[in-house]
Structure 1
């Protein structure tokens, strides 16, 4: 039950619909890792009335350091320093703000997944399988609209549009994320760390009132091989064979000791259309941008907000509302996907030694007051699309 689904349920309620949320998990999962909320998301959250409830965990006293394996460090630029001033928050902050609004007035079916979709002019017959313990029961119900906000490997997308292989574009990178329990020795808990080398990097994300987030990234030409062994072994292989040094060694141990983590390959979703007449995909299921865009949560909320607006403006004509929604969002999402590949990915993971040299030079410029002013102006221009209120119509 993610951000896109909850935000859509909220907007549907506001325009007089009666949504039913179907959730595969047996109960609500409130955990979540770090995200940055840019202006696109902030504007949407404010319009939906949840921005204050989401909060802001950015620590104004934080300093981010660019670190070498041997322990050398220099002041650098962290995620919170990017143009657009993203709020550093947890995914669960948005989900909780939405859930607290949606849950009291919405039917939520846990342990339930769709197994078949049969679309008609008047609606969609949905076969649902509900699992309780070892027992499973199938039922079929008709809905006016089916919204697949079920993530990168969407069940709704497979049932309505075809297999994942038709739509998943690999970026040939692995991401591994968790929450740190212990800060790196010699650093304050509120300080950020970036160790970036050609084809691999590790970042920490500090918060005001929460343990830091930890993110590993690395490039690979054989994604399948990364999942044939424990994640920590793949990470150690990717960051070897050089000695890890004190900082990287500590961060690898933090991941190894973590009880909860993400270890996955990075893919974007590319589709010619996100909808039929009565089935529509939203969020990662439709346009997955990857974390390298920094816009996943923002665009999920914006997509939900705009969908509610256009359904309200087209009463009794759902197909037209979906066409207008697709036409409005598609150029913006294409821009975000391209930006994630060409700007976001190299920002997180230098792809070549030249990228690494450029990154180091940029950090030196940013330590100079005049240089920082010029560089910030250049970066503001590059990041301006993260401030577009795409759901405002």
Structure 2
């Protein structure tokens, strides 16, 4: 199943509680021509290209993990049937998200690696078009310490994201699916231990504020497979090379999340005023330079638009990226 850009054609709006609005800047305006898509798009595409011999088990969770130099013994519990079985694997990859079970069984309690950003988020799909917008139109309402984002798509219902410290809008209560959680990062000194490795949010949750969750997951998985193929007889060398090559980029996303958070929710009205002026500033050379510095355009090009796997395959494996 091919993925496609769902970026809408309608002008994004910055809106106010009194109903007034003005043109806003969308994510499609960022350098690198980023696509707008849903996580579900990536999931469906990934499932569609899985080899036929890949076994998928639902309602199954690990309960114990024991490893030695030759392999890993994992006890798997089928929560639907109520049965358990212990199997042996060459490598265990924990990709089970924030507060990962694999993580807690092998690396210790979650609290040891979680960093709270002191913000709450709620995200859900909105059926139809929010009042006051046209189909396919994105919008942002910003107030100090809280915000509402309408992420629009040209061929799909919009998603609404709230970062807030007050009551949630009524539509939240009727949503079919809901993400409601604190914004937390995962920061670990090592992503692997022996023959167990963590990837994506289980290893380096950068939070949605960094905007690289899916992208880092895809490149992390591809790079892991690439280096396992490059070191077929030495899992340890493959994992060390993988982490050394990937970590400078992930560390940058983690470190930049605090600044990126201000894209989604601002601290004061002065920051709101600057956001309102951005479309006007971008009409002038000096204004564009100011906007580029605030948005950190150079860092986006260097860390977010780079072909990490290509760099490794071209011989820069293990080299540190200068920051």
Same fold? TM cut 0.5 = yes
Residue number in structure 2 paired with 1:242: none
**1:362 Cα deviation after fit:** 2.3
Which residue number in structure 1 is paired with residue 63 of structure 2?
115
Deviation, structure 1 residue 370? 5.0
Which of 125, 131, 134 is residue 179 of structure 1 equivalent to? 125
Instruction: Report the CA distance shift for 1:158/1:205 in structure 2 as closer, same or farther (over 3 A).
Output: same
Q: How many residues align?
A: 308
1:81 matches 2:81: no
| Alignment partner, residue 5 of structure 2 | 56
- Structure having the higher helix fraction is 1
Q: Distance in 1 between matches of 2:162 and 2:216?
A: 24
Aligned to 1:322: 239
Cα RMSD between the aligned structures? 1.8
1:187 shift after superposition: 1.9
How far off its partner does 1:270 sit?
A: 0.4
SS of equivalent residue, structure 2 residue 96: coil
Task: Return closer, same or farther for 1:370/1:62 CA change in 2, 3 Å cut-off.
Answer: farther
Cα shift readout 1:10-53 (whole Å, capped 9, x = no counterpart): xxxxxxxxxxxxxxxxxxxxxxxxxxxxxxxxxxxxxxxx7xx1
Paired with 2:299 and 2:217, the residues of 1 have a C-alpha distance of: 22
Q: 2: distance between equivalents of 1:257 and 1:358?
A: 35
Listed one character per residue, the Cα deviations across residues 102-146 of structure 1 (whole Å, up to 9, x for unaligned) are 1633111111100000011110110110122xx411111110000
Task: Report the equivalent of 1:189.
Answer: 135
User: 1:300-348 CA deviation, whole Å, 9 max, x = no partner?
Assistant: 0101111111111112100111111111111110001111222x10111
Stretches (4+) displaced over 6 A = none
Instruction: Give ranges in structure 2 of 5+ residues lacking alignment.
Output: 313-323
Q: TM-score, normalised by structure 2?
A: 0.90
Partner residue in 2 for 1:93: 41
**Structure 1 counterpart of 2:277:** 361
TM-score by length of 1: 0.75
The separation in 1 between residues aligned to 2:231 and 2:299, in whole angstroms, is: 36
8 Å Cα contact 1:62-1:206 kept in structure 2: no
- Structure 1 unaligned spans of 5+: 1-49, 221-233, 237-251
Q: 1:253 to 1:81 in 2, by over 3 A?
A: farther
Which of 153, 162, 167 is equivalent to 1:235?
Answer: 167
Q: In the alignment, what sits opposite 2:308? A: 390
Bigger relative contact order (CA 8 A; separation at least 6): 1
